[in-house]
Amino acid sequence: MKLSAFTRISLRTVALAYLLILLVLPLVIILLRTFERGIGAFIDSITTPAAISAFQLSMLIVLIVVPLNVVFGVVTALALVRSKFPGRSLMQGIVDLPFAVSPVVVGVSLILLWGAGGWFGGLESLGFKVIFSLPGMVIATIFVTLPFVVREVEPVLHEIGDDQEQAAATLGASRWQTFWRITLPAIRWGLTYGVVLTVARALGEFGAVIMVSTALPGKSQTLTLLVHGRYINDHNTFGAYSAATLLMGMALIVLLLMTLLERKRGTE
């Protein structure tokens, strides 16, 4: 369908205005509020003990969640693409479940499952506390980030097929050798892109984490919870803006990595 010049310009104007009002303008306002007192005040705000602890906890959760999701994601993608088994369609739906379920619902379900009186609540009497501690926050983050590696690796596996893997098996390579020397190099860009998406989602998760965390500064408060706590509980709007800007900067780094990966993958 060929559009007139007026229609093309109108569509572009509407799209740019939409993005400007909903995305760019709020971010610009946060940046202006953050740096209105100067760069020194911003640095002081993000280097408080509570902010440093929140940053360290967020990074710790990322460091735990990403390797687990990589292992699970690759295994699941291989199972879905290379195997035919009863319940495969159901498994496909389960993988996409975090896209459909609200993170708050995830948090509530984890409390019902792991909290006092839950199915696995007895573990707390053995000294293993899940809810309102780090394990619960990790489980919640794993749930919401679960699909990304699977959904990035799966189409790559479809694209490359299994001819090279079968040839390697014919030549006497074990399954482990075939995976490391044939499969893994072939899916590396899809896997890397899935890891970047997982990192971005884990850093920005709020709804599920706040349900299974005490949100106490210095104990179980991530960067997203720090923004919420400063703004709602402490009425420290400048501190909230500063923490939000720190999160925004980390998200920007992730976005740049995604862009670079897309370009590099496109050149190969």
Please say if the pLDDT value at position 266 is more than 70: no
pLDDT digits (tens, 9 = 90+) for 170-215: 888 888 888 888 888 889 888 988 999 999 999 999 989 999 998 8
Largest CA distance in the chain: 71
Model pTM greater than 0.85?
yes
Residue pair 182/134 in contact by the 8 Å Cβ criterion: no
Pairwise CA distance, residues 30 & 47, whole Å? 18
Domains and their CATH numbers in the chain: 33-266 (1.10.3720.10)
Q: Quick one: pLDDT at residue 206?
A: 92
- Whole-number mean pLDDT of the chain? 88
Contact 199, 181 (CB under 8 A): no
In this predicted model, what pLDDT tens digit does every residue of 96-117 receive, in sequence order?
Answer: 999 889 899 999 999 988 887 7
171 HSE (CA, 13 A, CB side): 10
pLDDT digits (tens, 9 = 90+) for 42-60: 999 999 999 999 999 999 9
How far is CA 164 from each of CA 73, 152, 171, 181, rounded to the nearest angstrom?
Answer: 21, 20, 11, 10
**How far from each other are the two terminal CA atoms of the chain, in whole angstroms?**
33
Q: Is the pLDDT of residue 225 over 90?
A: yes
Concatenating the DSSP letter of every residue in 181-241 gives IIIHHHHHHHHHHHHHHHHHHHHH--HHHHHT----TTTS--HHHHHHIIIIIS--HHHHH
